[in-house]
Chains A and B, each alone.
Chain A
Amino acid sequence: MAVKTYYTREHEWVRIEDGVAICGITDYAQTQLGDVVYVELPEVGAEIARDGEAAVVESTKAASDVYAPLTGTIVAVNDRLEESPDLVNESAEDAGWFFRMEVDDEGELDELMDEEGYQAFVEELD
Chain B
Amino acid sequence: MTELIKTPLHAMHLAAGARMEPFVGYDMPLRYPQGSVAEHNQARNRAALFDVSHMGQLRLMGEGADAALETLVPGDIQGLGDGAMRYTLFTLENGGILDDLIVSRVPGGLGLVVNAARRRHDTEHLRSHLGGRVDIVPEPDRALLALQGPAAAAVLADFADLPFMGWREGEACGVPARVSRSGYTGEDGFELSVAGADTEALAGRLLAHEAVAWAGLDARNSLRLEAGLCLYGRDLDEDTTPLEAGLGWTMPKRRREERNFPGAARILDNPPVRRRAGMRPEGRVIAREGSDLLDSAGEPVGWVASGGFSPVLGGPVAMGYLPLALTAPGTEVAFDIRGKPRPGRVVRLPFVPHNYFRG
A-to-B contact residues, CB < 8 Å? 34-35, 37-38, 40, 56, 58-63, 82, 85, 89
Contact = CB atoms under 8 A, between A and B. Distances in A.
Contacts of B222: 60
Interface in B277-292: 284-286, 288
A35 B35 contact: yes
B309 A60 contact: yes
A61 B288 contact: no
Nearest to B31: A34
B343 interface: no
Nearest to B285: A38
A34 B338 contact: no
B35 A58 contact: no
Contacts of A34: 19, 30-31, 35-36, 218
A93 to B, nearest CB: 18
A52 B218 CA distance: 30
B35 A85 contact: no
A89 B35 CA distance: 10
B37 A35 contact: yes
A59 B284 CA distance: 12
B309 A38 contact: yes
A38 B36 contact: no
A63 B36 contact: no
29 contacts: A34-B19, A34-B30, A34-B36, A34-B218, A35-B35, A35-B36, A35-B37, A37-B37, A37-B284, A37-B286, A38-B285, A38-B316, A40-B285, A56-B338, A58-B285, A58-B286, A58-B309, A60-B36, A60-B37, A60-B218, A60-B219, A60-B222, A60-B308, A60-B309, A62-B288, A63-B286, A82-B284, A85-B284, A89-B35
B286 A38 contact: yes
A35 B309 CA distance: 10
Contacts of B316: 38
A37 B19 contact: no
Contacts of A40: 285, 338
Which residue of A58, A59, A60, A63 has the most chain B CB atoms within 10 A of its CB atom? A60
Contacts of B37: 35, 37, 60
B352 to A, nearest CB: 15
Contacts of A63: 286, 288
Majority secondary structure of chain B interface residues (helix, strand, loop or mixed): mixed
Interface string B200-228: 00000000000000000011001000000
A58 B285 CA distance: 9
B336 to A, nearest CB: 14
Nearest to B38: A35
Contacts of B288: 62-63
Given A35-B37, A60-B218, 13 more contacts: A34-B30, A34-B35, A34-B36, A38-B286, A40-B285, A40-B338, A60-B219, A60-B308, A60-B309, A61-B218, A63-B288, A85-B284, A89-B35
A35 B32 CA distance: 11
A60 B221 CA distance: 10
Contacts of A59: 36
Contacts of A35: 35-37
A38 B286 CA distance: 7
A30 B316 CA distance: 20
A37 B309 contact: yes
A34 to B, nearest CB: 6
A50 to B, nearest CB: 21
A85 B309 CA distance: 12
The 4 closest A-B pairs by CB, nearest first: A37-B309, A60-B36, A35-B37, A35-B35
A40 B308 CA distance: 15
Nearest to B288: A63
Nearest to A37: B309
Interface string B263-301: 000000000000000000000111010000000000000
A38 B19 CA distance: 21
Interface string B16-47: 00010000000000110001110000000000
A90 B275 CA distance: 40
Given A60-B218, A60-B222, A60-B309, A38 B284 contact: yes
Contacts of A60: 36-37, 218-219, 222, 308-309
